[in-house]
Amino acid sequence: MQALQMVAWQQPPELRTIPIPEPGPGEVLIKVGGAGLCHSDLHIMETPGEAIGWALPFTLGHENAGWVEKLGPGATGFAVGDAVIIYGPWGCGTCRNCKAGMDNYCENSVGATQGGGLGRNGGMAPYLLVPSTRHLVPLGKLDPRDAAPLTDAALTSYHAVKRSVHLLGDDSTAVVIGIGGLGQMAVQCVKALSPKTRVIAIDSAADKRAAALAMGADEALEPGDAAIARVKAATNGQGAQLVLDVVGADATLAMAAAMGRTLGHITIVGLAGGALPVNFYTVPHECSVCSPYWGSAGELAEVVALAQAGKIKLTTQRFSLDQAVAAYDKLHHGQIAGRAVVTPNG
């Protein structure tokens, strides 16, 4: 089969022919419906290999959904043909965090958490080998070709919001900075978990501000001092209970700090590599600054339930496997509306 693989660091991926894997004990073979493209893939392509520590080659694609094709010996709980989404981080399965379904924080990971598309073969191929059925979540009637980004774009946003939901409620404000694929999901997750929270979206692009409003944001503003003033005015000078920075650049982090409030949360989701100096004077008193990573398997099931209920929706663009390199180029140049999804089986 053809697979889009990383074969050299800081070089574009290549289509290569590899064998269709055979599931061993406890494993499951998935016929891939959709594999999402993510900005973190671009970071993997651009980062020196020694900074990551993964062996080459491996197949890209860590946002994956499809249908059960074959169960290995001893693999139970699913049947051939079941539509499933794959939980992305694959931990050891035995440490305290993995046993709680939080493979994203596996205590025995060396370097970055591995998974399909992250150091191990992912979904940019017709078939994907998953090490255990515990990484599968049923999709029901959701189409795997469109649901794939739920496993990262939605799950990452959902987890980032959920950890702060106790701060939200009547007369609360959440700010989302950066309305790309994750930011669009973050807006929806705030509204799904706390419908009465005022959501203020921040983005420099007019079309992304319009998208935020269409997805439930109460206001959409251009970044800058005027946006900071508006957030302060909307919160009686106190600032927002939750500020989600889905960009993570120096400028957006500084803006997030200016929009936060005492006892609030500033949550860094974006990977732009900026820094937020934290000392007694740079953030409001007892304002938590956090950089969560992905989400738990249980939270992925909750995300799927929200999608099944129509409370969160994905905007996707589909590409064939032989269009994947061009799709990554579009992603790099900001030319993807929502999330791009490769459909290796058409």
Which strands make up the sheet holding 58-59, listed edge to edge? 14-17, 2-6, 58-59
pLDDT of residue 110: 62
pLDDT of res. 285 = 95
| pLDDT value of residue 112 | 56
Do 12 and 96 have their domain in common? Answer: yes
* Adjacent-strand bridge partners of 3: 16
**CATH assignment of the domain containing 131:** 3.90.180.10
- Residue 53 has a pLDDT of 80
Q: Are residue 65 and residue 162 in the same domain, yes or no? A: no
Query: Which structure tokens are listed for 344?
Result: 């290796």
Radius of gyration of the chain (CA): 20
Do residues 234 and 198 make contact, with C-beta atoms less than 8 angstroms apart? yes
Q: Which residues contact 255 (CB under 8 A, 6 or more apart)?
A: 177, 202, 223, 224, 227, 228, 245
Shared domain for 235 and 98, answered yes or no, is no
Q: Which of 249, 268, 290 is where one domain is finished?
A: 290
The pLDDT assigned to 338 comes to 81
Same-domain status, 256 and 335: no
Indicate which CATH number applies to the domain containing 264.
3.40.50.720
Number of domains in the chain: 2
**Do 319 and 342 form a contact (C-beta atoms < 8 A)?**
yes
pLDDT at 114: 84
Mean pLDDT of successive 10-residue segments in the chain (346 residues)?
95 96 98 95 85 89 98 97 97 93 88 82 98 97 96 96 96 96 94 97 96 96 98 98 97 97 97 91 94 96 97 93 95 88 94
Helices 39-46 and 324-332 cross at an angle (nearest 10°) of 90
pLDDT at 168: 97
Whether residues 114 and 68 fall in one domain: yes
| Distances from the Cα of 116 to the Cα of 88, 96, 144, 208, 258, angstroms | 7, 22, 16, 30, 38
Q: How many helices (H) and strands (E) does the chain have?
A: 10, 18
Which domain does 268 fall in, by range?
156-290
Regarding whether 162 and 274 lie in a shared domain, the answer is yes
Same-domain status, 83 and 131 = yes
State how far the Cα of 179 lies from the Cα of 202, in Å rounded to an integer: 7
Last residue of a domain, one of 290, 314, 334: 290
> Are 182 and 272 in a shared domain?
yes
**pLDDT value of residue 113:** 60
SS3 assignment, position 64: strand
- The answer to whether residues 114 and 32 belong to one domain is yes
pLDDT at residue 218, as a whole number: 98
Say if residue 87 is in the same domain as residue 199. Answer: no
pLDDT, position 315: 86
Query: Do 25 and 128 fall within a single domain?
Result: yes
DSSP code, position 28: E
Q: Is 176 helix (H, G, I), strand (E, B) or coil?
A: strand
The alpha carbon of 131 is separated from its chain's Cα centroid by a whole number of angstroms, namely 21
Same domain membership, residue 285 and residue 170: yes
